[in-house]
């Protein structure tokens, strides 16, 4: 309840577009509710900074069968999960030229991006 009230106060405070609030959190649902811009920091380095809507299109979730995971693609994926039947990982949209027609891509959520970044990779 207190978190919701705080988010309401912050949302009202910035509603005129003249004020900004620097808000640090690991709770992605809070970001979804009030953030316009997001900066992701991983191991002390800025990983992404930009509009929240741009973050959600900046990365793709890529999925495929085990035979579809090439060394080139493997080296580019972030937070790769793989097993004997297939794989999934996060890929910057700008690198989508690496993808074959056999792979499945999905829009990523802020939650998925943060989980994959925390797992590591390229």
- The answer, yes or no, to whether residue 119 has pLDDT greater than 90, is no
Residue 80 confidence (pLDDT): 94
Whole-prediction pTM value? 0.75
111-118, Cβ contacts within 8 angstroms, sequence gap of 24 or more:
111/28, 112/61, 113/40, 113/55, 113/59, 114/26, 114/28, 114/40, 115/79, 116/59, 116/78, 116/79, 116/89, 116/90, 117/40, 117/42, 117/47, 117/78, 117/79, 117/90, 118/42, 118/79
- The answer, yes or no, to whether residue 97 has pLDDT greater than 80, is no
Residue 122 confidence (pLDDT): 54
What is the tens place of the pLDDT at every residue in 4-29? 898 889 889 988 889 888 888 888 88
Domain ranges of the chain: 2-35, 56-119
Residue 89 confidence (pLDDT): 93
What is the tens place of the pLDDT at every residue in 27-83? 888 888 888 889 988 888 888 899 988 988 889 999 999 999 989 889 989 999 999
Residue 121 confidence (pLDDT): 56
């Amino acid at each position: 309840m207190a978190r919701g009230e705080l988010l309401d106060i912050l949302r009202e405070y910035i509603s005129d577009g003249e004020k900004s609030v620097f808000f640090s959190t690991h709770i992605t649902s809070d970001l979804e509710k009030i953030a316009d811009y997001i900066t992701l920091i991983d191991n002390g380095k800025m990983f992404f900074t930009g509009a929240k809507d741009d973050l959600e299109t900046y990365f793709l979730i890529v999925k495929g069968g085990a035979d579809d995971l090439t060394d080139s693609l493997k080296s580019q994926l972030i937070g790769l999960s793989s097993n004997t039947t297939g794989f999934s990982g996060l890929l910057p949209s700008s690198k989508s030229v690496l993808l074959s027609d056999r792979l499945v891509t999905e829009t990523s959520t802020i939650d998925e991006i943060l989980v994959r970044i925390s797992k590591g990779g390229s």
